[in-house]
Amino acid sequence: MSQRRLARTMTLQVLGEWDFNKSIIPKNVDIQEIIQRNLKEFSSSNFKEKLFFKQLVQDILKNIKKIDSFIIQYAPQWPIEKITLIDRNILRIGVFELLISVQTPPKVIINEAIEIAKLFGSETSSKFINGVLGAIYEKMKKNEEFT
């Protein structure tokens, strides 16, 4: 597994724990503690993407409302709370990287999201993720204004 994919996978784990905990525990979740625990458990001393991982988690959480609004817009048949925890957070990573971060080529972002969905999601997750992110990418290619 590439270092960036590992960072995205760890981001999925952190977001998943955060998302799950906020739904059952009404208090704030200590995201820094979750980040540090995941770094300790899943990365090695030669993991070179620690900064990318930490920044990805923090930036997604800073922009969560905006990211979720795109998911709602591009998956209108699925209320966001009905999208599985895994799929919802893979989409959050993908939408953030496509529309806010824009450091990675769109096709790479979509491919990474699909591959992560194949590893952690259901049988239909990769198709769902591809459909939503693909629709966003198509609109991006047309240089249309995002709302």
Within a domain: 11: yes
Within a domain: 98: yes
Query: What is the distance between the alpha carbons of residues 39 and 47, in angstroms, rounded to a whole number?
Result: 9
Within a domain: 146: no
Query: What is the distance between the alpha carbons of residues 12 and 137, in angstroms, rounded to a whole number?
Result: 21
Within a domain: 128: yes
Q: End-to-end distance of the chain based on CA atoms, in angstroms?
A: 35
Query: What is the distance between the alpha carbons of residues 87 and 116, in angstroms, rounded to a whole number?
Result: 10
Give residue 60's pLDDT. Answer: 96
Into how many domains does the chain fold?
Answer: 1
Look-up of token digits 């957070």: 89
Within a domain: 9: yes
Within a domain: 38: yes
pTM, entire model: 0.90
Give residue 38's pLDDT. Answer: 87
> Is residue 134 within 8 Å of residue 92, measured between CB atoms?
no
Tell me the per-residue pLDDT of 56-77, one tens digit each, with 9 for 90 and over.
999 999 999 999 999 999 998 8
Within a domain: 18: yes
Give residue 95's pLDDT. Answer: 96
CATH number at residue 108: 1.10.940.10
Give residue 28's pLDDT. Answer: 72
Q: Which two three-digit tokens encode residue 46?
A: 């030669």
Give residue 27's pLDDT. Answer: 65
Give residue 23's pLDDT. Answer: 67
Residues in the chain: 147
Give residue 26's pLDDT. Answer: 57
Show the domain range for 50: 3-141
Within a domain: 147: no
Name the CA radius of gyration of the chain, rounded: 15
- Regions of the chain where pLDDT drops below 70: 1, 23, 25-27, 144-147
Q: What is the CA angle 122-123-128, rounded to 5?
A: 80
